[in-house]
Structure 1
Amino acid sequence: MPGTDTLVQFIHTPHARLNRPLLRERAVRYLIDTLAVTVAGSTEPAVATLLDNYATLQMNGTPLPWTARTLSTDDACLVFGTASHVLDYDDVSMLAVCHPSAPIVTALNSLAHLKPMSGAELVDAFIVGTEVLIRTGQAMGFRHYELGFHATATLGALGAAACSARVLGLTAAQTRHALSIAASQSAGLRKNFGSMVKSLHVGLAASHGLQAARLAQAGVEGSHEAFMNGGWLHAYSGGETDRWPDDFQPGNPTAIEETGFEQKRFPCCYMTHKIITAALALKTHHGLTLDTIEQIDVQLCKGGTTPLIHPRPTTGLHAKFSAPYTVLAALADGRVNLASFEEGAVMRPEIQARLDDVRVGEDTAPLAHGNDVGKAPATVTVQTRDGHTLSHTVVASPGSPDDPLSDADLAIKWADCLRHTRPDLTPATTHTLFATGLDLDNVADAGRWLRLETP
């Protein structure tokens, strides 16, 4: 029967067994994407609040890629992690209904200062961290999310502990203790969606995972078996499972290879992305405007509305978790981008007046696994004022391998995100940094790239 030893063994998988072309190609794209959205998110109020009023400045401390100030290791995790997730522009894995890359890249940013690493070592640690994060969540199924946990936060602590254990060179015994310590620091509630705390969860998860590895390295010991037999799996699945699945084999294949991650086209909750895509298609094909529309019906899969807790948003953060707003913004503007979630855009009278005209429903058939959400159709139906009914259904998850961001799409997103915060970087420098990211396996010092320093 698979056990926690299986997880520990995978964390220390030799580089040669992680050196598979598709795995490396996708991993570097996710690293590029995450660094880009982190830099873009660094100007948000939640990040400024932490940086100006909470974080401890430290001479020669951990650097951040948008400021000359350096911080303590833990505070750098909090600030970087919050920035990585505050725009809700970071990637998603529907296998565990989570954002896999943000907490791992956050931990790796601090680790690159504690223990300099090559680009190949960075990619290895990223693969390990995201795989542990996703497979531990997948072991519990969708029930974990239904119970009210923010899976990115709860699973992120374990993934961050895993990548930290690898980078810091922990022994197998120390790695097991690190996972046990991280299991006791695994926390985060969906009730905080639409607030600063949701993005703070990523920073906390990364900090807790890194702390767990450093504590284990220092000699702190946890339970030999913190996951099975009444442990983490039982507690965090609401008693639905108490052991690892019989087919639990992390890395064979990795989640990156099996389904890939969904890279976001829009800076908002991923459960809105199919309906945004459907609304944009309706506008493009039929020339719709809000004035020509009488009623809008949105149909999502069972559980699809769970994170969409703000039907009448009044802030940009709330609007990111609003099905009515995102559909109306798409139909009104023909786009959904960073500007769509500025308060002025959200509070437009012509948008606010139509929020109640959007009806949101769910299918009745239950989903067995989190990944079923990614495969389920989403439909937007519009009743026009002249009596026509127009409908569009989207099945492929936007930004997934079924509807991927091209290299050109990713380059545009990278440049847009960096320009948002770092206008001092020339287009040539921005392009060089993007090309360096694609070639991370051949980069000698990954820390320079994470700091947005050219080779």
Structure 2
Amino acid sequence: MSDFRADTVSGKLTTFMHRARAEGVAEPVRHEAKRLILNQLKASVGATGQQAVRLMLDWAMAEAQGGGGAHVHWFGTSLPPALAAMVNGALYEVLDFHDTYIPCFMHAVSGVLPAVFAEAEAGGHSGTAVVDALAIGLEVELAVATMLMPTGYYRGMVPAGLTGGVGAAAACALLRGLDASQTQHALGLAMCTPAGIYEAAGSHTLAWITGNAARTGLQAAALASRGFTAPPTAFEGDQGMFKTHSDEDRAKIDGILASLGTEWRIFGQTYKVVPTETITHGPVECALAILPRAGGRVVERIDIKVQEIVVTIVDGRRERFGRPSSTPQATFDLCHCVAAAWLRGQFTTAETSAPCYTDAEVIALSDRIKLTADPGRPTFEGCTMTVTFADGSSESHNVDYFLGTPNARVPDSTLIDLLEQYGAGVLPAGRAHAIADAVLTLDTAPDIHGLIRLLNKD
């Protein structure tokens, strides 16, 4: 007899998952899921030389001892699915060039998609099954994150470390065809094993946290398929995920669960057009907008009005790191990123590399950037920048929604261009467009093997 508990949070999530799969995912949702796949690929193609990725890949190859089943993007290395998912999760995370779900301060796709790819490659699942599992898994993850945030984040937890495993478990459970009871156990197992604190920012550990979320979710579904059990009240129980990892009001839970399938949170994702963390995008966009008006004038100072939490985050990191001394620290240093964008006239991975973060001119300008809390800013999607020059003149620019947010949507063509730009030197000519075509038609493919072959750099 089934031990499925439909009255619990994991039970209601399971019911949504199975209903959504049975009814079929709507075409606009599928298209958004495919855009998010494309976004993750452009986020990772330029990351193959990152030390965190190389170290993790070396470790995974040693752990695998020659085993295979799924591939690491861009390297062509075959690993057991759980290890491939972990390394690909790190690839997605390391440049901080992926997605952001701003209401929850999280990168939702990076913990789910690697597990989906690894499970689908090993299991030979169809393209439609992959796209639908990703979309539904993300909705489960975002619903759980919405229940836990923002106080889970304020406690110091990495949101994707908390919930990425739950989304990955949901998606892999669908791909494996688990029944309701098994699916509930997979979700419960992932809910009982979240990991990741934000002290990791600026180090290799953040990439590990994301990779670990992908691996945890994949393994949770695999264990549940074998009869491994978890508590049905893993989320709302007296010692469950909700109580131990947030300070939210329990009253919000029912409304969030009721919205599943009618309000698709996948459409609230933000896409990054420059490789740095989300709070930095508005300031970098402002700097590059003002720069053509500078006319060679010497900068005296740069003042940026931002949401209050941005000031708190930036001040806290400067207190911990001082000036950047590594690429991860430069990526997470807003003042460095703005100074680099102004002086280099662009913002790419080169602007977070050692030649830039050790540049005396960049350091000097970074020290002349001041952030001020703007009580009128509801989120960090926007900011106002004023550049004051040595002659006393000034130029200002305001951004309410930086490019890539839901209110300033990035077209598919821009995502393809970014894949091509960051794939230069990694991919052969024409490969970026072939990958894009394969992604955007994935739901018509018999499996994902053709796409995976394209993701090998040879």
Q: Partner residue of 1:413?
A: 418
Q: Work out the CA distance in 1 between the residues paired with 2:425 and 2:236.
A: 46
Distance verdict in 2 for CA 1:321–1:387, change over 3 Å: same
Is 1:97 aligned to 2:120, yes or no?
no
**CA deviation after TM superposition for structure 1 residue 247, in Å:** 4.4
Is 1:350 aligned to 2:355, yes or no?
no
Q: Partner residue of 2:221?
A: 213
In structure 1, the gaps of 5 or more residues are: none
User: CA offsets, 1:178-216, max 9 Å, x none?
Assistant: 111111211111111010011111100001111111111
**CA deviation after TM superposition for structure 1 residue 35, in Å:** 2.1
Report the count of equivalent residues. 441
Is 1:237 aligned to 2:246, yes or no?
yes
Q: Is the Cα–Cα contact under 8 Å of residues 228 and 244 in structure 1 kept in the other structure?
A: no
Q: Is the Cα–Cα contact under 8 Å of residues 262 and 397 in structure 1 kept in the other structure?
A: no
**CA deviation after TM superposition for structure 1 residue 297, in Å:** 1.5
Q: Partner residue of 1:431?
A: 433
Q: TM-score, normalised by structure 1?
A: 0.91
Q: TM-score, normalised by structure 2?
A: 0.90
Q: Is the Cα–Cα contact under 8 Å of residues 233 and 243 in structure 1 kept in the other structure?
A: no
SS across alignment from 1:359? strand
Q: Is the Cα–Cα contact under 8 Å of residues 229 and 243 in structure 1 kept in the other structure?
A: no
Q: Please give the residue correspondences for 1:268-417 in structure 2 after superposition, counting only pairs within 5 Å.
A: 268-287=276-295, 292-308=298-314, 309-310=317-318, 312-364=323-375, 372-374=378-380, 377-417=382-422
SS across alignment from 2:45? helix
Q: Is the Cα–Cα contact under 8 Å of residues 89 and 211 in structure 2 kept in the other structure?
A: yes
Q: Work out the CA distance in 1 between the residues paired with 2:124 and 2:313.
A: 38
SS across alignment from 1:444? coil
**CA deviation after TM superposition for structure 1 residue 54, in Å:** 4.4
SS across alignment from 2:289? helix
Distance verdict in 2 for CA 1:147–1:364, change over 3 Å: farther
Is 1:253 aligned to 2:263, yes or no?
yes
Q: Partner residue of 1:180?
A: 188
**CA deviation after TM superposition for structure 1 residue 254, in Å:** 1.0
Distance verdict in 2 for CA 1:436–1:360, change over 3 Å: same
Identity %: 26
**CA deviation after TM superposition for structure 1 residue 240, in Å:** 4.6
Is 1:50 aligned to 2:56, yes or no?
yes
Distance verdict in 2 for CA 1:162–1:438, change over 3 Å: same
Larger % of helix: which?
Answer: 2
SS across alignment from 2:424? helix
Q: Partner residue of 2:81?
A: 73
In structure 2, the gaps of 5 or more residues are: 1-6
User: CA offsets, 1:150-205, max 9 Å, x none?
Assistant: 11111111111111111111111111111111112111111110100111111000
Distance verdict in 2 for CA 1:53–1:247, change over 3 Å: closer
RMSD: 2.2
Q: Is the Cα–Cα contact under 8 Å of residues 319 and 341 in structure 1 kept in the other structure?
A: yes
**1:287 partner amino acid:** G
Q: Work out the CA distance in 1 between the residues paired with 2:352 and 2:39.
A: 20
User: CA offsets, 1:52-86, max 9 Å, x none?
Assistant: 24433434432123224311222212211111110
Moved more, 396-405 or 95-104: 396-405
User: CA offsets, 1:238-267, max 9 Å, x none?
Assistant: 36548724342322221123x3x1110110
**CA deviation after TM superposition for structure 1 residue 421, in Å:** 2.6
Q: Partner residue of 2:452?
A: 450
Q: Partner residue of 1:13?
A: 19
Q: Work out the CA distance in 2 between the residues paired with 1:288 and 1:215.
A: 62
Q: Partner residue of 1:224?
A: 232
SS across alignment from 1:353? helix
Q: Work out the CA distance in 2 between the residues paired with 1:269 and 1:352.
A: 19
**2:143 partner amino acid:** R
